[in-house]
């Protein structure tokens, strides 16, 4: 299967050939940036770069756009390409970046309703997360200042772990009573303000993919709900949601040296990416 193989190839390049990538390893961080930029350029896209310094290291958000029939309305899809210290970051978050790259291939000849903007974010992980100069925070502030009409932001945060064993899925307190105990689904998570968009995205995805889907609209205080780039867009008043395999609630190698490419389920990951691509093209958010 071409998509499955392509996703595996991207994850392996980021996690094995480049490896751990963050401002304390700037050569690796810049290699990941160059890989994403070069891959998109080979597909014929003009890649826009937003640069800033973080801890004295040049850092870049990368952006491409597929123009829609309503071009001023934007659905933004983002994934961070940095890792934590000590981890090669296969699931977190080479999996999200691999999906972002393949969206550029899958959607380029389609005719989306909204313009689809794909953004690879730098510096999501600590020490930047939440209070620091996250790449998505820098980007979202600039988008708001420009007046960008971002109707929805989707954050791709770990897409490669699927587990069929009973008891393989954990949750924040109380949620385990309402959701499956097997980690074989993809989750869509939003804050309360974004719940209508969450419902539309999850329903459309379910029509395009046989991967089970669960959704949660919750206050951001629930552990894990705000722990990715969607937070930056919530702070600027945009609707946003996270697409995730639920990270540490399922994946035992989260933020570890053992987060390596052979741990991922590329077949189910490909089915998620195909379903999301079809969903993005037909979204009609107000």
Strand partners, 189: 216, 242
Structural domain for 243, as ranges? 2-282
Going by C-alpha positions, the residue among 181, 192, 240, 180 that lies closest to residue 216 is: 192
Write the pLDDT tens digit of every residue in 82-109.
999 999 999 999 999 999 999 999 999 8
CB of 75 closer than 8 Å to CB of 115: yes
Rounded Cα distance between 212 and 175, Å, is: 17
DSSP 128: S
Residue 286 pLDDT class (50, 70, 90 cuts): low
Write the pLDDT tens digit of every residue in 209-229.
999 999 999 998 888 899 999
Token duo for residue 207:
């029509």
| Cross-sheet strand order for the sheet of 48-54 | 48-54, 57-66, 114-121, 70-80, 149-157, 240-244, 186-190, 213-217
Structural domain count of the chain: 1
Q: What does the pLDDT read at residue 62?
A: 98
CB of 128 closer than 8 Å to CB of 56: no
Is 80 a residue whose pLDDT tops 60? yes
Query: 């689904």: which residue's tokens?
Result: 185
Write the pLDDT tens digit of every residue in 179-210.
999 999 999 999 999 999 999 999 999 999 99
Stretch (H or E) spanning 95 = helix 95-107
Token duo for residue 87:
């981890």
Token duo for residue 57:
């290291």
DSSP 92: I
CATH for 220: 3.40.630.10
Rounded Cα distance between 221 and 226, Å, is: 7
Rounded Cα distance between 83 and 88, Å, is: 7
């Amino acid at each position: 299967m071409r998509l499955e193989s392509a996703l595996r190839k991207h994850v392996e390049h980021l996690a094995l050939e480049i490896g751990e990538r963050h401002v304390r390893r700037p050569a690796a961080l810049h290699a990941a940036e160059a890989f994403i930029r070069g891959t998109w350029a080979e597909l014929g896209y003009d890649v826009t770069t937003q640069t800033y310094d973080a801890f004295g290291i040049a850092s870049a958000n990368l952006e491409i756009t597929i123009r829609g029939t309503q071009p001023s309305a934007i659905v933004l899809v983002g994934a961070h390409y940095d890792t934590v210290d000590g981890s090669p970051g296969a699931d977190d978050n080479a999996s999200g970046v691999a999906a972002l790259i393949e969206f550029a291939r899958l959607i380029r000849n389609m005719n989306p309703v909204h313009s689809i903007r794909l953004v690879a974010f730098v510096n999501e992980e600590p020490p930047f997360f939440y209070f620091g100069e996250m790449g998505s925070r820098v980007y979202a502030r600039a988008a708001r200042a420009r007046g960008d009409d971002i109707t929805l932001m989707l954050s791709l945060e770990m897409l490669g772990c699927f587990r069929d064993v009973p008891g393989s899925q954990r949750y924040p307190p109380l949620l385990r009573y309402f959701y499956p105990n097997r980690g074989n689904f993809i989750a869509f998570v939003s804050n309360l303000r974004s719940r209508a968009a969450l419902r539309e995205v999850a329903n459309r995805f379910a029509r395009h993919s046989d991967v089970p889907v669960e959704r949660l609209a919750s206050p951001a205080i629930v552990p894990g709900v705000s722990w990715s780039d969607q937070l930056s867009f919530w702070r600027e008043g945009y609707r946003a949601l996270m697409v995730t395999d639920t990270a540490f609630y399922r994946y035992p190698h989260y933020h570890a040296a053992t987060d390596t490419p052979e741990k991922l389920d590329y077949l189910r990951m490909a089915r998620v990416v195909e379903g999301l691509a079809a969903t993005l093209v037909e979204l009609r958010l107000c």
